[in-house]
């Protein structure tokens, strides 16, 4: 049964590419206002998990519901109208920004508002400028992505996702394409969103950030959830040997 605070529910999720099973019996819930951090080595299935919830990959089995609406139940997908409704409640910030290079910063943020939500140009522009101001990029509205730093581009992509007012925002290793000195500015933006009680699922290799910002942590390896719990439990006091071995590489969190 779905509670009123439950934004995302994943049950017994599996995903295979041919004979390769990349997700195995994944189950978890995310409540309104919570930040779930997902950590684990490369190839553990973290990004694939996000892509299934965001309808970029189809699952092999299991169930996903968003805001109480069924995306897929026991491997069977809902109809197109239901999927479209769910898509509007979900935002995704990619590793590599995925901005339209031939659109200005402003148009990158307004295009989906106008095409998907049917907003007027004035409405879309007003919200876009409000979000750019929050990102410290108001003066860059008429720039093109190639004129921005990687950190600025990622802030634009976050603003673009927020413009559609999703109920849950997913980040797929949002700092992995950035130089180390630019990583901090993106993590700062996510921390500020967490303070506003934005519901988020963040796949990250930044262990200190995951520990300090998340309400719950999942450690994945081999397509499975190996360990889960509070940030203090999973990162500072892991119980599983595989988790301990993974975290030994991160000296800043132990």
| pLDDT (average), residues 195-205 | 95
Between CA 32 and CA 108 the distance in angstroms is: 28
Report yes or no: 230 and 216 within 8 Å, Cβ to Cβ.
yes
Go through 142-155 and write b for each residue having 16 or more CB atoms within 10 A of its CB, e for each that does not. Answer: eebbeebebbbbbb
Side by side, the strands of the sheet bearing 216-221 are 90-93, 168-172, 200-203, 35-39, 216-221, 224-229
- pLDDT tens digits for range 60-74: 999 999 999 999 999
pLDDT at 2 over 80: no
Reported as a single tens digit per residue, the pLDDT across 139-173 is 999 999 999 999 999 999 999 999 999 999 999 99
Q: Grade residue 237 by pLDDT with cuts at 50, 70 and 90.
A: very high
Helix (H) or strand (E) holding 85: helix 80-88
- Pairing status of strand 216-221 against strand 61-66: unpaired
pTM given for the model: 0.92
Q: What is the average per-residue pLDDT within 24-47?
A: 95
Please return the burial class of 99, using the count of CB atoms within 10 Å of its CB with bins 0-12, 13-18 and 19+: buried
Alpha-carbon distance values, 161 to 41, 158, 171 (Å): 26, 5, 10
The SS3 call for residue 137 is coil
Q: Which residues contact 246 (CB under 8 A, 6 or more apart)?
A: 39, 40, 41, 219, 221
Query: Residues, the chain, total?
Result: 254
**C-alpha 242: how far from its chain's center?**
24
* Rounded mean pLDDT, 102-127: 95
Of the pLDDT bands very low, low, confident and very high (cuts 50, 70, 90), residue 181 is confident
The helix/strand/coil state of 120 is coil
- Percent of the chain at pLDDT above 70? 97
Taking the C-alpha atoms of residue 230 and residue 216, their distance in angstroms, rounded to an integer, is: 5
> 38: pLDDT confidence band, cut at 50, 70 and 90?
very high
């Amino acid at each position: 049964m779905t509670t009123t605070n439950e934004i995302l529910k994943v049950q017994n999720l599996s995903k295979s590419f041919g004979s390769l099973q990349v997700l195995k019996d994944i189950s978890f819930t995310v409540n309104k206002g919570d930040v779930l951090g997902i950590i684990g080595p490369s190839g553990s299935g973290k990004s694939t998990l996000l892509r299934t919830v965001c309808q970029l990959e189809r699952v092999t089995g299991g169930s996903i519901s968003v805001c109480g609406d069924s995306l897929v139940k026991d491997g069977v997908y809902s109809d197109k109208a239901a999927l479209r409704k769910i898509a509007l409640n979900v935002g995704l910030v990619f590793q590599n920004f995925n901005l339209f290079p031939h659109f200005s910063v402003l148009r990158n943020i307004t295009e989906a508002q106008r095409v998907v939500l049917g907003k007027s140009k004035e409405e879309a522009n007003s919200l876009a400028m409000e979000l750019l101001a929050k990102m410290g990029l108001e003066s860059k509205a008429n720039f093109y992505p190639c004129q921005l730093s990687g950190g600025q581009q990622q802030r634009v992509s976050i603003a673009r996702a927020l413009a559609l007012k999703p109920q849950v925002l997913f980040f797929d290793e949002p700092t992995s394409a950035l130089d180390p000195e630019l990583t901090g500015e993106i993590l700062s933006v996510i921390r500020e969103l967490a303070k506003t009680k934005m519901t988020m699922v963040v796949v990250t290799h930044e262990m200190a950030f995951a520990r300090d910002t998340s309400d719950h942590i999942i450690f994945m390896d081999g397509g499975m959830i190996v360990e889960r719990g509070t940030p203090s439990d999973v990162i500072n006091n892991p119980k599983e040997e595989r988790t301990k071995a993974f975290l030994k590489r991160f000296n800043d969190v132990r």
